[in-house]
Amino acid sequence: MSTINMQQLKKSYEDTQVIHGIDIDIVDGEFIVLVGPSGCGKSTLLRMVAGLESISDGEVKIDDKVVNKLEPKDRGIAMVFQNYALYPHMTVYQNMAYGLKLMKLPKEEIVQRVQEVAELLQIEQFLERRPSNLSGGQRQRVAMGRAIVRKPKVFLFDEPLSNLDAKLRVQMRMQIKTLQRNLGVTTLYVTHDQVEAMTMADRLVVLKDGIAAQIGTPMEIYDDPHNQFVAGFIGSPAMNFIDCTISDEVIDIGGQKMPRPTDVTQRGSVVLGIRPEHFINTADQPAIQGQVDMIEKVGASVFLYVKCDHIEELIVIQREGHSQVQIGELVPINPNLNKLYFFDKNTQQRLY
């Protein structure tokens, strides 16, 4: 049961700075997901909290105690690694008991704790096996077991599901979330998968180039992205970005005009963002039309990739699953005018 505070956390390697001052306050029992494209510094940040990377500047506090200089073992953390990092020459039991043995716990307590956690994770029958005789999902559970037996104040997960196949990943995603809720342990979780991030997080931290681009609950970030990067990163398929000019009457997209919602006060050249799911499937408004270039069927819905005159990128439109649109067909492009986003062309900050 504990809190984590990061204050102006910075990390530099020689003369390149990779983390540029991050402030996050995490409350007790919260599930925080650090998400971002590769190279954004999310793993580095996690490893700084773990104590595996030194902290160049700023502070990390766990339970209001500065841990900058503490060894990982003294921080009250447990970590699950991407490649599980199980000791290959030890059995599952030994893997889980190793940390406890080093804590100098009495033998009976070690046995009891490992047994409990093994039952919780349903890996009792593997206790005597070596990791090499386990499947990916089982190894994943052992790695989590090793973290849980330590009874840490904080769980750290470093892309723990990226080596699993899609179906197992969804299963484990739910298991981890449920487990975390039941144990009530404060958790930092790193992933590059935005679906994982959305589904698991209490709050998300979207990182870009070592800066927290936005911090908030998944729905806050989805509904109200602060800038073009966050808008494009969260949501699948990604938001459409279209260059346009707003005048007093209309939004001008490459010569084709759309009515201006009355509450949009900006004028001039901006980037218009529309999510694929925010198009209306009717032809009654004066619409821009486009030709369907490619179709992706995912079952529940269909994504149309539409080529419009004067717009460079293909626009992605979501339709319901049994939509009978064919390639080459002309479709109207009718965005829901209440769900438009506008971004500054230069700063990429959200304007409206």
Where do contacts with another protein occur on this chain (CB under 8 A)?
A: 50-52, 71-73, 77-79, 81-89, 98-99, 102-103, 132, 146, 150
| Minimum CB distance to another protein, residue 13 (Å) | 13
Residues found in the chain: 352
Give the residue from 295, 289, 298 showing the smallest Cα distance to 324.
Answer: 295
Nearer to another protein, 155 or 303 (CB): 155
CB within 8 Å of 150: residues ≥ 6 apart: 78, 99, 100, 103
Nearer to another protein, 15 or 71 (CB): 71
Nearer to another protein, 47 or 192 (CB): 47
Let me know: does 8 contact 58? Beta carbons within 8 Å: yes
CB atoms within 10 A of CB 226: 18
| Minimum CB distance to another protein, residue 72 (Å) | 5
C-alpha–C-alpha distance, residues 277 and 24, integer Å: 31
Nearer to another protein, 85 or 168 (CB): 85
Give the residue from 237, 229, 218 showing the smallest Cα distance to 278.
Answer: 237
Q: Cα torsion for 228, 230, 235, 236, to the nearest 10°? A: 70
Q: For tokens 């479709």, name the residue.
A: 331
Q: Cα 262 vs. chain centroid, distance in angstroms?
A: 34
| Minimum CB distance to another protein, residue 65 (Å) | 18
Q: Name the burial class of residue 163, with classes exposed (0-12), middle (13-18) and buried (19+) by CB atoms within 10 angstroms of its CB.
A: middle
SS3 296: strand
Nearer to another protein, 71 or 108 (CB): 71
Stated as kind and residue range, the H or E segment containing 204 is strand 203-208
CB within 8 Å of 320: residues ≥ 6 apart: 281, 300, 301, 302
Nearer to another protein, 70 or 264 (CB): 70
Give the residue from 281, 282, 322, 316 showing the smallest Cα distance to 301.
Answer: 322
Nearer to another protein, 191 or 318 (CB): 191
Q: What angle do CA 331, 335, 339 make, to 5 degrees?
A: 160
Nearer to another protein, 84 or 279 (CB): 84
